């Protein structure tokens, strides 16, 4: 065992004072940060009133909206006529077409009609005097012969009685609204209805094998047009999903991002040389340009889009301009900071040979700054593909406007899901392409 005397201990303390004479900040800095984080978290809980927010939130709507992303509704309406007959009607743009005869709607021998909501466990049987709703293991009759619908027996929790109608909530399968003279049914199906061909298409509701046979070797449906061309037109001009318009708007979004980023980088590149202190020794010019970059960056791309849509009207021109202004500020700042951090030795060496300024920049600066320019520009490009979607919602064109229109209806959530998936695919592809191009230009291997 080694014994350290007092002199040796004082010598060690003098040699390593940072370990033996630590400041208050060094000793308690971590604890103070932890306490400050805890206090701020408590303040945020109080400021936003999170307990009340979570208690009053409509969590059930999350499941409803998510189900609407991957499903669609069919809404038959059964009207009880004065003579006791039941007339079946569908909305004008029903997913089933103009003359549907679904197998889940059955005409019974006694004149009543049974609609299967979800197999045999959830169904509705409508007659002239009563409607029987079967769900959750019980059958609940509702009389409709008097002035208002009346539930016979106890009212279950999934049923709500109003003054003039009774609403039966059948969960994700749909719901039933019962009044004296009509029964409205919402039946939900998993999937996207008529995604390929809409109800107006000659190929609507035909089996896949029959459609392929018509396209490959079938006789022409329209004498002036081949079946392949007709099928493509029907898909592209699908009235429900609007594939042609969606893909055109998606291409507009991509062009907006590319054009805005390209123009922003071209404008920022020469301005960055003037803003860099070590390249242009003019402090006034440096500060003016840097504040100009800050101004362009501080105004959000969405705000620029609002200004430009008022100036030029809605469309991709306003979107490209908004990205151009934002990227001029962002890339100008990044480029100038990259220039200020270069090693001046290669530049001074080339300048000592008597080379012109252009050659000094070309061989003394560019080899050092190109990796920064390439990396930052490609990153901003892929980021602007996402940004172009957002600014499209305020009128700058592109798929963002289509997405906003679909969301505003609060009914076409499957169309929203379709466009969101397209945007995700484009973002993933552009990110992969950007990474590959970045590594190729910089001479590194992608991981």
Map tokens 């399968």 to a residue: 173
Name the residue with tokens 């959530």. 413
Residue 22: per-residue pLDDT = 66
- In tens, the pLDDT along 360-401 reads 777 787 888 888 888 888 888 888 888 888 888 887 778 888
Q: Are strands 174-178 and 182-190 parallel, antiparallel or unpaired?
A: antiparallel
Domain chopping of the chain, boundaries: 74-190, 243-442
Residue 365 tokens, joined = 């600066």
Of 173, 163, 166, nearest in space to 152 by CA? 166
322 neighbors 308 (Cβ within 8 angstroms)? yes
What is the rounded distance in angstroms from the CA atom of residue 141 to the CA atom of residue 247? 49
> What distance in Å separates the CA atoms of residue 140 and residue 130, rounded to the nearest whole number?
10
Predicted confidence at residue 3, as pLDDT, reads: 63
The predicted model scores a pTM of 0.79
- Phi-psi region at 410: left, alpha or beta (left = phi > 0; alpha = psi -120 to 50): left
| Token output for 109 | 């021998």
Q: What is the pLDDT of residue 268?
A: 93
Q: What pLDDT, on the 0 to 100 scale, is given for residue 16?
A: 67
Secondary structure, 3-state, the chain = CCCCCHHHHHHHHHHCHHHHCCCHHHHHHHHHHHHHHHHHHHHHHHHCCHHHHHHHCCCHHHHHHHHHHCEEEECCEEEECCCCCEEEECCCCCCCCCCCCCCCEEECCCCCEEEEEECCCEEEEECCCEEEEEECCEEEEEECCCCCCEECCCCCCCEEECCCCEEEECHHHEEEEECCCEEEEEEEEECCCCCCCCCCCCCCCCCHHHHHHHHHCCCCCECCECHHHHHHHHHHCCCCCCHHHHHHHHHHHHHHHHHHHHHHHHHHHHHHHHHCCCCCCCHHHHHHHHHHHHHHHHCCHHHHHHHHHHHHCCCHHHHHHHHHHHHHHHHHHHHHHHHHCCCHHHHHHHHHCCCCHHHHHHHHHHHHHHHHHHHHHHHHHHHHHHHHHHHHHHHHCCHHHHHHHHHHCCCCHHHHHHHHHHHHHHHHHHHHHHHHHHHHHHCCCCC
Residue 187 and residue 76 in contact, taking contact as beta carbons nearer than 8 Å: yes
Topology classification of domain 243-442: MetI-like fold (1.10.3720)
Angle at the Cα of 107 from the Cα atoms of 104 and 109, rounded to 5 degrees: 140
Residue with tokens 């809404």: 75
Cα four-point dihedral sign 363, 364, 367, 372? negative
- Inter-residue contact 185 to 76 (CB < 8 Å): yes
CB 415 within 8 A of CB 406: yes
Determine how many CB atoms are found less than 10 A away from the CB of residue 27. 10
Q: Are 326 and 308 in contact (CB under 8 A)?
A: no
Q: Which residues of the chain have pLDDT under 70?
A: 1-5, 9, 12-14, 16-23, 442-447
Q: Return left, alpha or beta for 171; rule: phi > 0 is left, psi -120 to 50 is alpha, else beta.
A: left
CA pair distance 234, 215, nearest whole angstrom: 13
Can you tell me the distance from the alpha carbon of 173 to that of 189, in angstroms, rounded to the nearest whole number? 8
Distance of alpha carbon 1 from alpha carbon 432, whole angstroms: 61
Residue-wise pLDDT tens digits, 182-215: 999 999 888 898 999 988 888 888 888 998 998 8
Q: How many other CB atoms sit within 10 Å of the CB of residue 164?
A: 9
pLDDT at 4: 67
CA distances from 183 to 78, 92, 109, 114, 129 (A): 5, 17, 19, 12, 12
Among 119, 136, 138, 123, smallest CA distance to 76 is for 123
């Amino acid at each position: 065992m080694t014994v350290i005397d007092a002199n040796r201990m004082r010598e060690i303390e003098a040699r390593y004072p940072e370990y033996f004479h630590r400041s208050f900040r060094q000793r308690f800095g971590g604890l103070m940060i932890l306490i400050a984080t805890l206090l701020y978290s408590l303040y945020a809980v109080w400021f936003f009133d999170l307990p009340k927010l979570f208690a009053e939130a409509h969590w059930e709507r999350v499941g409803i909206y998510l189900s609407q992303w991957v499903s669609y509704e069919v809404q038959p309406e059964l009207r009880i006529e004065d003579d006791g007959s039941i007339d079946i009607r569908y909305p004008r743009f029903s997913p089933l077409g103009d003359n549907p005869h679904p197998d889940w709607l059955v005409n019974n021998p006694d004149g009543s009609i049974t609609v299967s909501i979800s197999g045999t466990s959830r169904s509705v049987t409508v007659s002239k005097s009563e409607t029987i709703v079967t769900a959750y293991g019980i059958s609940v009759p509702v009389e409709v012969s008097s002035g208002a619908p009346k539930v016979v027996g106890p009212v279950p929790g999934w049923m709500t009685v109003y003054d003039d109608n009774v609403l039966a909530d059948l969960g994700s399968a749909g719901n039933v609204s019962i009044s004296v003279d009509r029964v409205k049914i919402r039946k939900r199906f998993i999937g996207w209805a008529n995604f390929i061909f809409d109800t107006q298409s000659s190929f609507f509701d035909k089996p896949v094998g029959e459609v392929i046979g018509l396209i490959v070797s079938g006789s022409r449906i329209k004498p002036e047009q081949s079946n392949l061309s007709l099928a493509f037109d029907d898909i592209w001009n699908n009235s429900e999903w609007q594939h042609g318009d969606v893909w055109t708007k998606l291409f507009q979004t991509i062009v907006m991002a590319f054009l805005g980023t390209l123009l922003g980088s071209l404008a920022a590149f020469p301005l960055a040389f003037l803003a860099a202190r070590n390249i242009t020794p003019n402090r006034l010019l440096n500060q003016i340009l840097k504040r100009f970059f800050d101004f362009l960056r501080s105004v959000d791309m969405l705000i620029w889009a609002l200004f430009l849509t008022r100036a030029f009207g809605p469309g991709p021109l306003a979107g490209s301009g908004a990205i151009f202004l934002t990227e001029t500020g962002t890339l100008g700042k990044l480029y100038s900071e990259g220039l200020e951090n270069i090693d001046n030795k290669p530049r001074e060496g080339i300048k000592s040979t008597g080379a012109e300024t252009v050659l000094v920049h070309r061989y003394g600066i560019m080899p050092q700054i190109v990796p920064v320019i390439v990396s930052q520009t490609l990153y901003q490009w892929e980021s602007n593909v996402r940004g172009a979607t957002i600014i499209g919602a305020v009128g700058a064109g592109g798929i963002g406007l289509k997405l906003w229109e679909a969301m505003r209806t609060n009914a076409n959530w499957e169309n929203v899901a379709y466009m969101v998936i397209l945007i995700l695919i484009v973002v993933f592809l552009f990110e992969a392409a950007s990474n590959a191009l970045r590594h190729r230009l910089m001479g590194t291997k992608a991981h």
